[in-house]
Amino acid sequence: MLILKLSKGRISAKRTPELHHRNRTNISRLGGIGLAASLMGCALIYFCAPFTSADKVECQLIVTLAMAMFALGLWDDLRALGARRKLLGQILIASTLYWGGISIENLTIPFAHEKTLQLGLWAWPVTVLWIVAITNLINLIDGVDGLAGGICLMMMILLTIVGGGINCVSYLAAGMIGALLGFLWFNFPPAKIYLGDGGAYFLGFLIASLPIISSQKGTVLAALIAPLFALALPILDTSIAILRRGIHGLPLFRADRRHIHHRLLAEGISRRRLVLGAYVFTAFFLFLGLAIFWSHGAQLPILFGFGLLFILIAAGRLQFSREWMSVGRVLGNSMARRSEIQYALAQTRWLIMEGSRCENLETLFDDTAFVADKLGFIGLKIRMMDTERIWQKLEYNPNQCWFIQPHLPGQDCHIEFTAPIKTEKTEESLNMTPQLDERTFQILADLLTEGWIKSIAAWSCQSGQPLRFGITKN
């Protein structure tokens, strides 16, 4: 409650909302503060406890670096750092964990006659990759109220059991269970507060680092694979997203609204049903992860098969399997639109740079219309506050065109694109204007919308003026 009150005052996240965020209201992204404070409290009690424990040094290192990861994400919540700076910060924090003695040094493969694979010089990159990957995995799944928080809660339950007694892993994980239950009270749909990058990075780092301590004390592969099974949903979603962006020619880590939860919301599934369904999915894989740990990895092939079967059944129920199985068609369509997408990326980069150079938003709108024309659109409408501008290339039949109004989060702004449907008849009626298939139209509209958002943010930063047409820089 205190964080919510502070968020309504001077202490609030002020970074420009991003296109892939679906929240329209100004909801605080400072939920990670409460989780970080809870960890500090748990750590203080653990350090002052009368019983002795050999892992207090490891616990101190993990808590310190978790707070550093939280600070990195919080900084990005308040003022966007950029992907490269965030990645560099994550690598430095993960490397510090390795240099502090917490690392993945070897892998014991239980179902291969207990063969141990010594990593040697590969221990550093493997440890860093593990930490950075899991940290960003939690951040990527944080797209729906209560989703990331609930999955992290289940992960902490798993880590409490995997820790196996009164030690750093079990104690910190158990403490975070209580903190997450309190957070979910305010984060479950409809959310009053979000994790933000600070909270997501913080939880992701804990989920990635705590199993390494457990792996150093037992069966290495089982201790690391158990969390991977529990994270099956975000791993599956992220893998599909990276594959999709790669074949489309988009940046691999570019945020978009094509994640599984975005698509289910677009089909009319309520946020509560979606989140509860994700909990059931994660709980099933949590059970598989526990079974792997308890069997020391001996049943991994069988349990992996059960998991794969469960994913295929779920995909069939949600009508995703048909799309996943048509690999040839998807690849063909994607390769055909790669050049158009690469051209659109170049055009939007130019538009973003123009944002800081234009004298007024009318000029910026003209530049946006120019790019829209280049991309094959025939209509553009932008409304900001009580002002509106319209560009239309030619007269058109609404029955022969695509229309889309991309969601602009946190903005008093609306944008609409029009493009001709790709048919033989429209090619003649629209004077040979390039026609777009629906998926290409959606991607290009998203790219141009993102370019417009970033360009007006740059203009506003330079001018210090409100975002409305008719205003010129001072």
Q: Within a 10 A sphere around the Cβ of 38, how many other Cβ atoms?
A: 17
Confidence at residue 395, expressed as pLDDT on a 0 to 100 scale: 75
Cβ proximity of 384 and 413 under 8 Å: yes
Residue in the block written with tokens 């150079």: 357
Residue 236 to residue 243: CA distance in whole angstroms: 11
Confidence at residue 140, expressed as pLDDT on a 0 to 100 scale: 81
Q: CA torsion, points 327, 329, 332, 333, in degrees to nearest 10?
A: -120
Q: What secondary structure does DSSP assign to 310-370, as a single string?
A: HHHHHHHHTT-HHHHH-HHHHHHHHHHHHHHHHHHHHHHHHHHHHHTT-SBHHHHHHHHHH
Backbone φ and ψ for 431, nearest 5 degrees, come out as 55, 45
Confidence at residue 77, expressed as pLDDT on a 0 to 100 scale: 84
Listed in order, strand segments (DSSP E) in 38-139 are: 106-109, 115-118
Confidence at residue 71, expressed as pLDDT on a 0 to 100 scale: 94
Residue 233 to residue 283: CA distance in whole angstroms: 10
Cβ proximity of 67 and 33 under 8 Å: no
- From the list 311, 304, 323, 306, the residue with the least C-alpha distance to 243 is 323
- From the list 59, 12, 18, the residue with the least C-alpha distance to 39 is 59
Beta bridge partners of 384: 387, 413
Query: Which residues, including other chains, have CB under 8 Å from residue 313's CB and lie 6 or more apart?
Result: none
Q: Is 119 exposed, middle or buried (0-12, 13-18, 19+ CB in 10 A)?
A: middle
Q: For 386, left (φ over 0), alpha (ψ -120 to 50), or beta?
A: alpha
Residue 176 to residue 300: CA distance in whole angstroms: 28
Confidence at residue 35, expressed as pLDDT on a 0 to 100 scale: 92
Residue 29 to residue 256: CA distance in whole angstroms: 19
| 190 cis-preceded (ω within 30 degrees of 0) | yes
Cα-only R_g, the chain:
25
Cβ proximity of 43 and 172 under 8 Å: yes
Q: For the chain, what's the residue count?
A: 474
Beta bridge partners of 58: none
Alpha helices in 231-326 (DSSP H): 232-248, 260-266, 271-294, 300-317, 321-325
Tens-of-pLDDT digits for all 474 residues of the chain? 566 665 554 444 445 555 555 554 567 778 888 899 999 998 888 887 665 555 678 888 999 999 999 999 999 888 878 778 899 999 999 999 999 988 888 766 655 555 667 777 888 998 999 999 999 988 888 777 888 899 999 989 988 887 766 678 888 888 999 999 999 988 888 878 888 899 999 999 999 998 888 665 544 555 677 778 888 888 888 887 787 777 777 776 676 667 777 777 777 778 888 888 888 888 898 888 888 777 766 777 788 888 888 887 877 776 655 555 444 455 555 666 778 888 899 999 999 999 888 888 889 999 999 999 998 888 999 988 778 889 988 777 777 787 887 766 555 778 899 888 866 554 444 444 556 677 788 888 888 988 998 898 888 888 778 778 877 766
- From the list 297, 310, 283, 295, the residue with the least C-alpha distance to 157 is 283
Query: Which residues, including other chains, have CB under 8 Å from residue 116's CB and lie 6 or more apart?
Result: 106, 107, 108, 109
Confidence at residue 114, expressed as pLDDT on a 0 to 100 scale: 57
Q: Within a 10 A sphere around the Cβ of 185, how many other Cβ atoms?
A: 11
Query: Which residues, including other chains, have CB under 8 Å from residue 248's CB and lie 6 or more apart?
Result: 334, 337, 338, 341, 443
Q: Residue 96 corresponds to which tokens in the numbers above?
A: 């510090």
What is the CA 300 to chain-centroid distance, rounded?
Answer: 28
Q: For 471, left (φ over 0), alpha (ψ -120 to 50), or beta?
A: beta
Confidence at residue 329, expressed as pLDDT on a 0 to 100 scale: 52
Q: Domain 338-463 falls in which CATH fold?
A: Beta-Lactamase (3.30.450)
Beta bridge partners of 410: none
Domain ranges for the chain: 2-325, 338-463
Q: Residue 352 corresponds to which tokens in the numbers above?
A: 């973003």
For the chain, the first-to-last Cα distance in angstroms comes to 41
What is the CA 469 to chain-centroid distance, rounded?
Answer: 33
Cβ proximity of 150 and 282 under 8 Å: yes
Query: Which residues, including other chains, have CB under 8 Å from residue 130's CB and lie 6 or more apart?
Result: 104, 208, 212, 224
Determine the longest span between alpha carbons in the chain, in angstroms. 84
Q: Residue 149 corresponds to which tokens in the numbers above?
A: 């928080």
